[in-house]
Amino acid sequence: MRGAEFSQVFSADSMIGMRVSHVLSGEQIGYLRFGECHDLTGKPEETHDNAGPNTASQVRLAGREVGHPAAGYTSQPMQKPLPSLYSFRRCPYAIRARLALDVSAQAYELIEVALRDKPAEMLRASPKGTVPVLIDTDGTVIDESLDIMFWALGRGDPEHWLTPELDDLATMRSVIRHFDEHFKGHLDRYKYPNRFAGADADLSRSEAVISLQLLEARLQSSSYLFGNRIALADMAIVPFVRQFSKVDPPWFASLPLPNTARWLAAILDSPRFIRIMRPTG
């Protein structure tokens, strides 16, 4: 399935059976605001990767740690030497932002945030209180993960993520939109059914698999979603598939989705993904 046909399938709300309202300032579905991570679970193991202060930071240059500034970083109104990224290590939105920053070779300060104890500097920059948040050296704030990806790739796209081998950027954006709106909504209701009134975890799991079947079909003829090299759509979507796979790993492994499993493993085992998932500190 390619081109307009593929784009049409992924833009059809009816295939998932959910009403999605698109808002310019951020997409919403049920109680969730799309775009970034906040403390949804209330479980320490889900919302904290460290038990220390509410931030831990390090400098990354082309994905490599080059220093460890003191924790408790305070943003400055004047020109800063590097952009800062407020992040949470396991948040899928933050993961995709870090992936794009890594490939772009953009140096930045990575600030790990405890979602239930957010630093005041981050909240001043982005009062909605979700991660990721990027603050550029001139004070510009970008607090939507896909916008951060485009910001990074605009500064460097050596692996041509924005120009896939197959189809085009518009089709990739359509696929990403489907996973941001449809798949992620069902993922959250499957993983956290108690957080959503009337949620049916089994139904949401089944609906999420429909999205994965569309990936499976796409991956029958290529190694990645838009050809035989990684593109933007792969890295924007894979963090959510990773999260879905971890809810019930034996069940996920039993799904008849060999191409999707191969694709997921190839990315998760790649040096880039391993590098951006290393804890700070």
Give the pLDDT of residue 279: 87
* Positive or negative torsion for Cα 52, 36, 204, 21: positive
Contact between 247 and 255 under an 8 Å Cβ cutoff? The reply is: no
Q: How confident is the model at residue 34 (pLDDT cuts 50, 70, 90)?
A: very low
pLDDT of 2 over the 70 cut: no
pLDDT bucket at 59, cuts 50 / 70 / 90: low
Assign domain 49-158 one CATH number from 3.40.50.300, 3.30.360.10, 3.30.300.20, 3.40.30.10: 3.40.30.10
Lowest mean pLDDT among 12-21, 101-110, 199-208, 236-245: 12-21
**70 secondary structure, DSSP code:** P
For residue 55, what pLDDT is reported?
A: 55
User: Does residue 69 carry a pLDDT above 70?
Assistant: no
Q: How high is the mean pLDDT of the chain?
A: 80
- The percent helix, strand, coil of the chain (3-state, each to 5) is 45, 10, 40
58 pLDDT more than 90 = no
Q: Is the pLDDT of residue 156 over 50?
A: yes
Instruction: Give yes or no for residue 248 having a pLDDT over 70.
Output: yes
pLDDT for residue 115: 84
pLDDT tens digits, residue range 77-122?
556 799 999 999 999 999 999 999 999 999 999 999 988 889 999 9
40's CB contacts (< 8 A; 6+ apart) are 32, 46, 188, 192, 195
pLDDT at residue 56, as a whole number: 59
Q: What is the structure's pLDDT at 162?
A: 98
> Is the model's pLDDT at 132 over the cut of 60?
yes
Q: What kind of fold does domain 3-37+161-272 have according to CATH?
A: Glutathione S-transferase Yfyf (Class Pi); Chain A, domain 2 (1.20.1050)
Q: What is the domain partition of the chain in residue ranges? A: 3-37+161-272, 49-158
* Residue in 89, 12, 15, 87 with CA at minimum distance from that of residue 243: 89
The answer for residues whose C-beta is within 8 angstroms of residue 108's C-beta and 6 or more apart is 59, 60, 82, 83, 84, 85, 101, 134
pLDDT of residue 11: 32
* 25 pLDDT more than 90: no
**pTM (two decimals):** 0.78
